Amino acid sequence: QMAFVSHSHRDPNGTYTFSSRPRPVENRSKYREPPCEQTHSNYGNIMYDRRVVRGNTYAQHIIPTTAQPDPAEILRQQEIRRRAIARRRAREHLKPKTPEALQGRKHIDVQTDLYLEELSDVIVATDIECQTEAFLDKPATPLFIPAKSGKDAETQIEEGELFDFDREVQPMLEVLVGKTIEQSLLEVMEEEELACLRAQQRAFEELRNNELAEVHRLQEQERRHSEEKERRIAQQKEVMKKERETAEKIAARAYTQQYLADLLPAVFTSLRSHGYFYDPVEKDIETDFFPWLMDEVNNSLEKRYIAREMLDTVIHDVTQKRLEMFKELETQPDKSDI
* 147-161 confidence digits (pLDDT tens): 777 777 787 877 777
Q: How far apart are CA 2 and CA 22, in angstroms?
A: 8
| pLDDT tens digits, one per residue of 64-101 | 555 566 788 889 999 999 999 999 888 887 877 777 87
- Is pLDDT of 220 > 60? yes
If phi > 0 it is left, if psi is from -120 to 50 it is alpha, else beta; for residue 183 that is alpha
The span from the CA of 98 to the CA of 109, in Å, is 12
DSSP states of 197-215 as a string? HHHHHHHHHHHHHHHHHHH
Identify the sign of the CA torsion 121, 127, 128, 130: positive
Give the C-alpha distances (Å, rounded to integers) separating 286 from 278, 283, 291, 295: 11, 5, 7, 13
- Give dist(CA 307, CA 311) in Å, integer: 6
Q: If we measure between CA atoms, which residue out of 9, 7, 11 comes closest to residue 20?
A: 7
pLDDT value for 32: 59
Q: Residue 322 pLDDT > 60, yes or no?
A: yes
Predicted local distance difference test score (pLDDT) of residue 36: 55
User: Which residues are CB-contacts of 26 (< 8 A; sequence separation ≥ 6)?
Assistant: 41
Is the pTM value of this prediction over 0.75?
Answer: no
In 3D space, the residue among 317, 313, 336 whose CA is nearest the CA of residue 325 turns out to be 317
Backbone angles phi, psi at 19, to 5 degrees: -145, 145
Q: Structural domain boundaries of the chain?
A: 280-328
Phi (first) and psi of residue 216, to 5 degrees: -65, -40
pLDDT band, residue 106 (cuts 50/70/90): confident
CA atoms lying within 13 Å on the CB side of residue 77: 6
Question: Which ranges of the chain would DSSP assign to H, the alpha helix?
Answer: 71-94, 165-273, 280-284, 290-337
